[in-house]
Structure 1
Amino acid sequence: MTGALTEDERRAIEADCARLIALYANLNDEARWEEAAALYAPDGLMTRPTAPDAPIVGQDAILAAFRARPPRTTRHVCSNVVIDVESADSARGTSAMLLFTGAPAPLVGSFHDRFVRTPQGWRFSERRGTLLFQP
């Protein structure tokens, strides 16, 4: 795409990026680490909501971080997704997150994302998680 985006093109990018957020949550809950890590651009950056000041950079490092997690049952619930399209190849977004782990209270936070279009489709270039309420 070149030039100004049409309304349909903008909406398609918003839908693709919102789907990426939901897919990531589902893959994470299913411990499908390779597929979750593949949703990042090769040089993508991730910060977990529980460690917002410890960036993990690159698909290989992200995959290793996922694999290093102790096994657990989780359910991520993402809502209030807002995607802002910047161009035909970049967008940013925010979403609210609840993480249920069987602990007495869920973790409540948000994600601030940057998206990039790659030959494989839309991917996270940055996924920064933060907690609103500290456990």
Structure 2
Amino acid sequence: MNRYLPLLPLALSGLLAACAGEPTTTVPPPMPAPALADPSTAPIHGPGLRGELLGVAAGADVDLALLGVDMRGRPRALLGQVHLRGSGEALPFHLPLSNLQTPQDLRLELRGRVSQSGRLVQRLPARTIAELRDQDLGALQLGPAP
């Protein structure tokens, strides 16, 4: 025990230095948005992409994302996302666009997926968004998942 005693201050200072350093990047889990049953009750805060999804089963989880994709169609930037829960009827959505800028050399696409019990059941075919501005996309039909 005595032969390790001189190393104790070194070990403690190393431990303190490790604890005092910058934390590793931790991303808080996304907060799910409540399902919206009536478009008139939708909380709209600023400009965004609006519309409604058709064919979402009641209780299904819906993820919509605005992505910047490269020329090969690979996602390179997540510009916004919203999580909803299906009600069995047309599901209105609002994807905020506040403080977003169009990324250089990337095409904007709105993509969506619907899962039930952790299994992918439907998807929204990629929809190109010409510019980042407040717009109503209307009714969007979901298709079966491949």
Instruction: Please classify the TM superposition score into its range, dividing by the shorter chain length.
Output: 0.3 to 0.5
Normalising by structure 1, report the TM-score. Answer: 0.33
Normalising by the residue count of structure 2, what TM-score does the alignment of the two structures yield?
Answer: 0.31
Select the structure that is richer in helix. 1
Which structure is larger by alpha-carbon Rg, 1 or 2?
Answer: 2
